[in-house]
Structure 1
Amino acid sequence: MLLIRSAAVALLALAGSGLASPVNFGSYVVKEAHVVPSKWTKISPAPADHVLKVDIALKQGNFAELENQLYEVSDPDSPKYGKHLTLEQTNALVKPTKDTAATVRAWLASHGVQDKHVSYSPAGDWASLSLPVAQLEAMLKTKYNIYTHEDGSVLVRATSWSLPAQVGKHIDMISPTNSFFRPVSSRKAVFTVDAHGSGAAALAAVKKTAGNPTVAQVCDPKSVTPLCLRTLYGTLDYKPKSGGRSQIGWTNYLGEVSNRSDTREFLRVARPEAIKSADTFKYIVIDNGTDSQAPDTPDEVAAGKDGEADLDTETITSITYPLPLTAYSTGGQPPFVPDTATPTDQNEPYLAWLQAVLKQRNIPQVISTSYDDDEQAVPRSYAVRVCNTFAQLGARGVSLFFASGDGGVGGDGTCISNDGKNRTVFLPEFPSTCPYITSVGATKNFNPEVVAYDEGNGFSSGGGFSWYFDTPRYQLKEVKAYVKTVPKEYAGKYNPHGRGFPDLSGQGQRYLTFWNGKFGHVDGTSASTPAIASIFALVNDALLAAGRPTLGFLNPWLYKRGYKAFNDITSGSALGCNVTGFSATKGWDAVTGFGTPNFKSILKTLNIHDGKY
């Protein structure tokens, strides 16, 4: 303990002169305030020597032009369609101006923070450093406290923070300050053991349906298998042909690990020819994440650890084989120890993952993420800057898929505004509300598919409209038409001018999976998201094999042309907040988007004709 506290003292000494007499940058003004979400409770002031890892978002030099180029390379009618930006081109657009960079450096130096103790992103638009709470409170004119969530999670946060006016105009946000965002797995149902205990039904289906099975032969709503998904959405007889150029990745957070032995056993039953994928997919560890394959402890099993990671891995490997695969394992939720001066990430793994991936030159063209949180749990500045960072990946040709959430329009009894007025409102999920990603909802059944809903566990596919982001231009027509169908009694509970989500959907209920040595079933948009991402990884494979660029940011193509290749879902709704919620309708709706994919129709829409395609 003495050594740990010595580290804190050293950090305080680093900023000592700044604490005594910082350079005068003018009077401070509140940069942002954010009400503590209802599920969080303040416990006590944060210890002065508790060290936080801090990320400072410097204002980007020309994000407007980045956004413009993102749409140009993503619009199928643009002459620049598919001409995705390079790492260097993207960095040049987001690089802060010389004035911004100099002002932020000078402000840090005025508080005794030497440049050598700050780590900058390649573009210079992110600055990362570690400082004790006392120093941050002085720099931001704020007060950090310890907060606990009703599920036992603990964070150190402030409700507001300030900067000198001439510094504040150069900084978009600083984290962690007032963001209570926690990436929560969109896996609603508790793992329920398969009645047969061995996936016997799935194995039998694989053995008896060689050739060209029908959906009726291989799809059972009680146990959705890879064979069913590949048959239902039309990828069963597609043979990847790009020579490994099309790649897919998925993200693991909260200590989740993609278990190779579980995946191996799942593939042995569900797709035997793909079994080697369990041992060959790539693992990238970020920010104290882990790829440990050690068995989970009894406590970890009781908490369901690795259930999400196994579901994602097994779904993706069983659909995309033999495409190259990458699992990202990002840390960011260390146990909170009040008397520890060791820098922690305070559960901001999205930023850690984004900053690590943005540095990579070769990124999988498709990435699936099954984690989200209530949009109102994050301050607007955090949501906007993270969303803008997703735009950088989209401009470089990466298709980002995010789960739309599992609580419909909001969990019953929790639909209260976070503005201090305690209004009843619907609760959209972030990052699905970001206009630069593709949000995926969930369906169930097969003839026809309907909105996923499981009365037994309360799972209801999420959908709605952002309170933070305006309706993007690619979906203006669809949102304007849809809100005319929304019941008038919902007025004031949602933003009719917000970004609508999801954009599309896929099967997401009663997925067969293998976890902790057993076959079982789960529900969630965390199931539909990797499945849909996998189908588009195969679409990219066909494009690359035809000498064409990958799809990249999907939505401009989807809303302009691609929607024609989707199966419209017109039954069911996003139940939640003790109401029926948004209903599925003809065309785009705020619960299933444009519906579920037809792989062969997508290829035809893209003018890919190769043999049967």
Structure 2
Amino acid sequence: MRVSSVFAVLEAASAVVAGPVARSTYSVKGSHPVPRGWRQLDRAPADHTLELRLGLTQGDFAGLAKHLFEASDPQHRKYGQHLSAEAVHDFVRPAKEASDAVHEWLFANGILPKDIAYTPAKDWLKVILPVGKVEELLDTTYHVYVSDDGRSAVRTPEWSLPLHLHHYVSTIQPTNSFFGPRAQARMDKRKAEALMDTKNIAEYIPPRPNATTIDAVCNTTWVTPLCLRTLYGVADYTPQSTDKNTVAMNNFLGEVSIRSDTALYLQNFRPEALGAENEYPVISINGGTTNTVLNQTELKALTGIEGNLDDQTLIGVAWPTPLEIYSTGGEPPFTPDMTTPKNTNEPYLVWLDYLLSLPDPLPSVISTSYDDDEQTVPKDYAVQVCNALAQLGARGVSVLFASGDTGVGGAGECYTNDGRNASTFLPNFPSSCPYVTSVGGTYKFNPEVPVFRNRSTGLYTAGGGVSYYFSTPAYQVESLMTYFEKTGVVEKYAGLFDPNGRAYPDLSGQSLNFTIFYNGTLRPVSGTSASTPAVSGILALVNDALIAAGKPTLGFLNPWLYSGGYKAFNDVTTGSNYGCNTEGFPAVEGYDIATGWGTPNFKQILALRGVEVDGVNEVWEHWE
């Protein structure tokens, strides 16, 4: 966010003391139950500061969404016409009536114009206030909450606004959102003592410099970049547009990417890229760490496993496409005597505020390996985050999120959070947002199947489900109805999911036993945290070829994918995504809620986009 001046008429309003407008009848605007696994402690100290963000009703989000779908539909004349930053801001800028009403209320409550910061479109306002003032402003009470896994947050399950502001304010946070990104990388429980000496690498992954077939370079025990590049058809592609194309990834929760480990990875698995570990920038947002040398405490906590998996996979697949890493802070522990402003547990919005304030161009693909249970997020806040992700898509960014690692929900956790404790599948957010592309997980090679790893080595099954918050988008209706008719899951799982919701994943990729280096040691790591950067790397190379051919980049993938782009994906037809003590959703021919449309075929994607490439028929025939 940036601080901006306010119109003179609003400046004058700051002199107004609390009156009828400021204290008109209050009523509850936002209410959301405290998620399972969190417990309330004491009242929050009145002088603890909060970075309060107010989301105003956007002026014409419907118009933005309409353009997004048109620009993403290959049958529409606007296909590929991505918007500029300023054009996006014009769509979402709040109406003057909304802005004036909110400012009048703030000024009447003693908040000065100089204390307010804004996003470029002025659809989000930020003020730093003590808890006591926020409680007065929102007619609520804040407490300290702590989670079973040690996280802390200052929150309130319910907040209010004057009635006349309800239409103008969409959400205010931090209030009742306990949403926090959850990394998806999973360490294999197999012992790795034999791999502690990197001299032993050849014993486990024999070098095959002349190998060109999947059988020769891929095995299920250790998945390497050569395997991924061969499997998905990019091994013989040379990027041509590295001066015009960038791929990016996110680190949250204090995660880092350790450059020395990336150097070891490249030295052993992609030696021609050695040196790339020193080339990518790490961009700090809201105090996000840029340190890549960890202490013993951090190493013991396995800090950096997620960051290493993502950056090593992206470079291993997409090099020499430039990589950017966003490191976003936002989840420090709470201490009662804290006086500096902190925004606990809300890093997605902080990251989006930063990204949407940047000038054009943005990276063509952004990979994010984090999610959380949808029901931990208040719907009003989820909608605003989802709308911000749509703004990225409108600017031509392919936004990819990991679908999760517990199938339709983790065993013992599949209950509603509304006090009824009714059985339910647990969809993940942001994968449930209709404006992102959700990436599921596969394993094995010929054919690929939905990933499944048993409890003895760490239970893992790729996430897939249906949203309770977002309705089925138009691009998905036909495919989803066909899937329901084929499988009978609506009847089989009646009451466990909403068949009228947005289903995910949209596509998938390899996600088991990726070979990475961590703290100088070779490790197998799994999760949709692996498939998401792998698929992102493939799509970044697709964009490279499109740019070289003078064509627009992919942008928001889903309308293209569901209307015919799926023909360039390797269909996964057997298996399912277990969870909630059920078999979950089965994979079938065509779209399914286990793997989406399947895994990418680089050359066939380009062929569908009208870019001539060698070997399309041969690659396509391999999968028929």
TM-score (norm 1): 0.95
| Cross-structure match for 1:150 | 148
After TM superposition, give the deviation of residue 279 of structure 1 in Å. 0.6
| Cross-structure match for 1:108 | 106
Does residue 464 (structure 1) correspond to residue 465 (structure 2)? The answer is yes
- For residue 513 of structure 2, the aligned residue among 495, 510, 525 is 510
Any conservation in 2 of the 1:194–1:521 contact (CA below 8 Å)?
A: no
**CA offset digits 1:471-497 (Å, max 9, x no partner):** 000010111122231443410100101
After TM superposition, give the deviation of residue 203 of structure 1 in Å. 5.2
Mapping 1:349-368, distance limit 5 Å = 349-361=347-359, 362-368=361-367
Separation in 2, partners of 1:204, 1:363: 42
| Cross-structure match for 1:9 | none
For residue 585 of structure 2, give the secondary structure of its aligned residue in structure 1: coil
Does residue 386 (structure 1) correspond to residue 388 (structure 2)? The answer is no
User: Could you tell me which amino acid in structure 2 is paired with residue 113 of structure 1?
Assistant: I
| Cross-structure match for 1:213 | 212
Mapping 1:117-156, distance limit 5 Å = 117-156=115-154
Separation in 2, partners of 1:611, 1:517: 39
| Cross-structure match for 1:75 | 73
| Cross-structure match for 2:3 | none
Separation in 2, partners of 1:501, 1:185: 18
**CA offset digits 1:162-207 (Å, max 9, x no partner):** 1011112111101100001010101133575374345678658988
Structure 1 residues 546 and 570, CA gap change in structure 2 (3 angstroms) = same
User: Could you tell me which amino acid in structure 2 is paired with residue 26 of structure 1?
Assistant: S
Any conservation in 2 of the 1:22–1:110 contact (CA below 8 Å)?
A: no
Any conservation in 2 of the 1:25–1:166 contact (CA below 8 Å)?
A: no
| Cross-structure match for 1:13 | none
- For residue 576 of structure 1, the aligned residue among 565, 579, 583 is 579
Any conservation in 1 of the 2:22–2:106 contact (CA below 8 Å)?
A: no
After TM superposition, give the deviation of residue 140 of structure 1 in Å. 0.6
| Cross-structure match for 2:622 | none
- For residue 84 of structure 2, the aligned residue among 83, 86, 91 is 86
- For residue 501 of structure 1, the aligned residue among 484, 500, 504 is 504
Separation in 2, partners of 1:44, 1:555: 46
Any conservation in 1 of the 2:310–2:533 contact (CA below 8 Å)?
A: yes
Mapping 1:42-441, distance limit 5 Å = 42-189=40-187, 193=192, 195-197=194-196, 208-211=207-210, 213-294=212-293, 296-361=294-359, 362-441=361-440
Separation in 2, partners of 1:567, 1:559: 14
For residue 297 of structure 2, give the secondary structure of its aligned residue in structure 1: helix
Separation in 1, partners of 2:50, 2:380: 19
Separation in 2, partners of 1:287, 1:79: 40
Structure 1 residues 606 and 353, CA gap change in structure 2 (3 angstroms) = same
**CA offset digits 1:218-267 (Å, max 9, x no partner):** 10101111010001111000000124212100000011111111111111
Separation in 2, partners of 1:235, 1:194: 33
Separation in 1, partners of 2:111, 2:166: 17
Separation in 1, partners of 2:198, 2:210: 21
**CA offset digits 1:117-143 (Å, max 9, x no partner):** 010111110101111111111111111
| Cross-structure match for 2:533 | 530
Separation in 2, partners of 1:132, 1:341: 9
For residue 127 of structure 1, give the secondary structure of its aligned residue in structure 2: strand
Separation in 1, partners of 2:250, 2:414: 28
Separation in 2, partners of 1:194, 1:251: 30
Any conservation in 2 of the 1:62–1:93 contact (CA below 8 Å)?
A: yes
User: Could you tell me which amino acid in structure 1 is paired with residue 46 of structure 2?
Assistant: A
Separation in 2, partners of 1:549, 1:91: 21
User: Could you tell me which amino acid in structure 1 is paired with residue 297 of structure 2?
Assistant: D
Any conservation in 2 of the 1:34–1:159 contact (CA below 8 Å)?
A: yes
| Cross-structure match for 1:3 | none
User: Could you tell me which amino acid in structure 2 is paired with residue 437 of structure 1?
Assistant: V
Any conservation in 1 of the 2:404–2:440 contact (CA below 8 Å)?
A: yes
Structure 1 residues 319 and 204, CA gap change in structure 2 (3 angstroms) = farther
For residue 400 of structure 2, give the secondary structure of its aligned residue in structure 1: strand
| Cross-structure match for 2:620 | none
Separation in 1, partners of 2:450, 2:200: 25
- For residue 566 of structure 1, the aligned residue among 566, 569, 579 is 569
Structure 1 residues 409 and 118, CA gap change in structure 2 (3 angstroms) = same
| Cross-structure match for 2:481 | 480
State the superposition RMSD in angstroms: 1.9
**CA offset digits 1:574-607 (Å, max 9, x no partner):** 1111111111111111110001111111111111
For residue 57 of structure 1, give the secondary structure of its aligned residue in structure 2: strand
Separation in 2, partners of 1:524, 1:611: 32
Separation in 2, partners of 1:542, 1:165: 53
Mapping 1:2-81, distance limit 5 Å = 23-81=21-79
Any conservation in 2 of the 1:25–1:167 contact (CA below 8 Å)?
A: no
**CA offset digits 1:383-410 (Å, max 9, x no partner):** 1000000000100000000000001011
Separation in 2, partners of 1:546, 1:539: 11
Separation in 2, partners of 1:235, 1:288: 37
**CA offset digits 1:357-406 (Å, max 9, x no partner):** 00111311100000000000000001100000000010000000000000
Separation in 2, partners of 1:554, 1:194: 42
Separation in 2, partners of 1:381, 1:131: 22
User: Could you tell me which amino acid in structure 2 is paired with residue 250 of structure 1?
Assistant: M
Any conservation in 1 of the 2:188–2:513 contact (CA below 8 Å)?
A: no
Any conservation in 2 of the 1:19–1:135 contact (CA below 8 Å)?
A: no
User: Could you tell me which amino acid in structure 1 is paired with residue 480 of structure 2?
Assistant: V
| Cross-structure match for 1:452 | 451
Separation in 1, partners of 2:34, 2:168: 26
**CA offset digits 1:551-576 (Å, max 9, x no partner):** 10000000011100111111221111
Does residue 555 (structure 1) correspond to residue 558 (structure 2)? The answer is yes
Give the stretch that moved more between structures: 71-80 or 197-206. Answer: 197-206
Separation in 2, partners of 1:554, 1:569: 19
After TM superposition, give the deviation of residue 212 of structure 1 in Å. 5.0
Separation in 2, partners of 1:184, 1:589: 24
Structure 1 residues 510 and 18, CA gap change in structure 2 (3 angstroms) = farther
Give the number of aligned pairs.
598
Structure 1 residues 26 and 414, CA gap change in structure 2 (3 angstroms) = same
Separation in 1, partners of 2:42, 2:105: 29
Separation in 2, partners of 1:243, 1:573: 38
TM-score (norm 2): 0.93
User: Could you tell me which amino acid in structure 1 is paired with residue 371 of structure 2?
Assistant: D
Structure 1 residues 578 and 300, CA gap change in structure 2 (3 angstroms) = same
Separation in 2, partners of 1:441, 1:477: 20
Q: Extract unaligned runs of 5+ from structure 1.
A: 1-15
Separation in 2, partners of 1:149, 1:127: 29
User: Could you tell me which amino acid in structure 2 is paired with residue 459 of structure 1?
Assistant: Y
Separation in 2, partners of 1:311, 1:196: 17
Q: Identity over aligned residues, as a percent?
A: 48
User: Could you tell me which amino acid in structure 1 is paired with residue 368 of structure 2?
Assistant: T
Separation in 2, partners of 1:205, 1:363: 39
